[in-house]
Amino acid sequence: MPTGPSVAVLPAAGKPLEVFTAEDQACRAYSAQSAGANPNDAAAKSVAGSAVVGTVLGAAAGAMIGGGNGVGTGAGLGLIAGTAVGAGRGAEASYSVQRRYDIAYEQCMYAKGNQLPPSARAPYRYGS
């Protein structure tokens, strides 16, 4: 699970720090629930699944190409390739969960009257 938001939110003018801190904690809990999945689990499952598929496919390819002698080599190469693919997909899964967490956090804090920095707001598009 994300350890916290990767976005900045500022308290509303005149809001006491104690109130802002309480809102921050409530919004962190809301965001964790809204994000849905644990990015560490998603990443690990992606790496493990790709490694298994890569090993099986590599063993099959090794058997077809090199007869019975190529199974071990093909499985080893498949494991390496599958793990590399899974690692990339795991990073994407972690980013996706962090982004959902950040969006929920910004929405919650904004709903409580806090301010989002200008960079957090969507830019206006002319002619849309």
Contact criterion met (CB below 8 Å) for 106 and 9? yes
Q: Residue 51: what pLDDT?
A: 60
Q: Write down the pLDDT at residue 39.
A: 47
Considering only CA atoms, which of 86, 88, 81, 84 is closest in space to residue 57?
81
pLDDT of residue 28: 96
- In tens digits, the chain (128 residues) has pLDDT values of 688 999 999 999 999 999 999 999 999 999 999 988 554 565 555 556 666 666 666 666 666 676 666 667 766 666 676 666 655 555 555 789 999 999 999 999 999 999 998 765 555 556 55
pTM, entire model: 0.54
Residues 9 and 31 sit within 8 Å (Cβ to Cβ): no
Contact 23, 112 (CB under 8 A): yes
Query: Where in the chain are the domains?
Result: 17-114
